[in-house]
Structure 1
Amino acid sequence: MSKLLLITSSPRGEESISNKVSADLAAALAAKSGAEIIRRDLASNPIAHLDTVTTNAIRKSPAERNAEEAAAAEVSDKLVAELFAADQIVIGTGLINFNIYSGLKSWIDNVARAGVTFRYTEAGPEGLVKGKKVYIVLAAAGVYSDGPAASLNHAVPYLKTVLGFLGMTDVEVVYVEGLAFGPEAVEKAMAAAESRTKELAQAA
């Protein structure tokens, strides 16, 4: 059975728009493909930011790690295994201070590992996480997909850059934006997200 990795990062729980839309998208994709959904909630089960021990551990082979480093590397190893096992990946985040939630950044720091998910070659860096379809759901109070505030949206460019560096270049984006502009704007944004979700699921 194929697997779909659903990564959510908003600390707002059930009130989170990015959590809801990304979960709806994952469900629609799984209904189409029959994939098993693997959930990784980075807010309710946060991943510690890299410290000295973990940074040293993930740069070594398992045989080179001491006991403390081996324990520290377990989480990173599990996250990497989840990533490689997935055929589809849905990433949900809100736009906070013009970028992604720090919990999602910590996930990235744990899976971006030289010699494991990417490698350096004479021709330049090569991503090793290939053959994945990735969907980004970005919720925002303002409008950042285009218009005068588009240059302040560092989340999507960053995610596309780091995902591409790891080998994941087939990326779709679902914007749920203008959420601070009142109930009508929220309703409109949710309707657009639902329409986009159906479109992506049908095309999958």
Structure 2
Amino acid sequence: MPHILHLDSSPRGSRSTSRALTKEFVSDWIQVHPQDTVTYRDIGKYPVPPVDESWIAAAFNKANTLPTELTGALTISDELIAELLQADRYVFGVPMYNFSIPANFKAYIDQVVRIHRTFNAAWEGLLTNKKMLIVTSRGDSYGEGSALASYDFQEPYLRTVFGFIGITDITVFHAENLNEGKDSRQQAIAQVRHAMQQLIVSW
């Protein structure tokens, strides 16, 4: 039975475009595939902590048993990684902040990109045969050929970091030009909605 990990990273509530779109996709998906299950994590409202010295010491500790002072340092990381391992598909909502990703999503990535858990010593990703949908929201247009294409540090980074841990089947839908007026906003959202409906048939 396929399992989906649905994650939102926008700190905005009902005003969030990425949240609205990921929610719509997962809802429509379950209507078509009612046997599938979903785990939802909201790191926009409930951020995960950044890695600290104890986390690093524990993650790279070679002992079979962690020292007492490091017990619990990887609890959150273990929980997040378990969700990734359990899921067959991922639906992530990631707004663009300052040409890249929100700090809370970077903290999430740092928690789950972990040696011996999601990649090995040979830098081989351990999360294979997974599929990922990333829905972004952007104030302007950063697509190939646009004036701001070179400012896009969001999609290239996400493809690289998730590809590093083995997730290479990645679809990215951008809701762009959201700050360019009502018509542009509605058109962008409509385009993503259409693309999501097409994906539900083929994913």
- Return the TM-score normalized by structure 1: 0.93
**Greater Cα shift, 143-152 or 45-54:** 143-152
User: How far did 1:100 drift?
Assistant: 0.6
Quick one: distance in 1 between partners of 2:83 and 2:166? 15
Amino acid at match of 2:158: L
* Counterpart in the other structure of 1:19: 19
* Counterpart in the other structure of 2:101: 100
Check if 1:203 corresponds to 2:202: yes
Quick one: distance in 2 between partners of 1:66 and 1:26? 42
User: How far did 1:154 drift?
Assistant: 0.6
Gap change, CA 1:153 and 1:55, over 3 Å in 2 = same
Q: Is the 8 A contact 1:4 1:30 kept in 2?
A: no
User: How far did 1:23 drift?
Assistant: 1.6
User: How far did 1:190 drift?
Assistant: 1.2
* Counterpart in the other structure of 2:139: 141
Gap change, CA 1:62 and 1:142, over 3 Å in 2 = farther
* Counterpart in the other structure of 2:161: 162
| Aligned residue pair count | 201
Structure 1 regions of 5+ residues with no counterpart? Answer: none
Gap change, CA 1:62 and 1:7, over 3 Å in 2 = farther
SS of the residue corresponding to residue 107 of structure 1 reads helix
Structure 2 regions of 5+ residues with no counterpart? Answer: none
User: How far did 1:69 drift?
Assistant: 2.1
Quick one: distance in 2 between partners of 1:5 and 1:68? 32
SS of the residue corresponding to residue 11 of structure 1 reads coil
User: How far did 1:62 drift?
Assistant: 8.2
- Return the TM-score normalized by structure 2: 0.94
Percent identity between the aligned chains? 31
Amino acid at match of 2:129: G
Alignment of 1:126-137 (within 5 A): 126-137=124-135
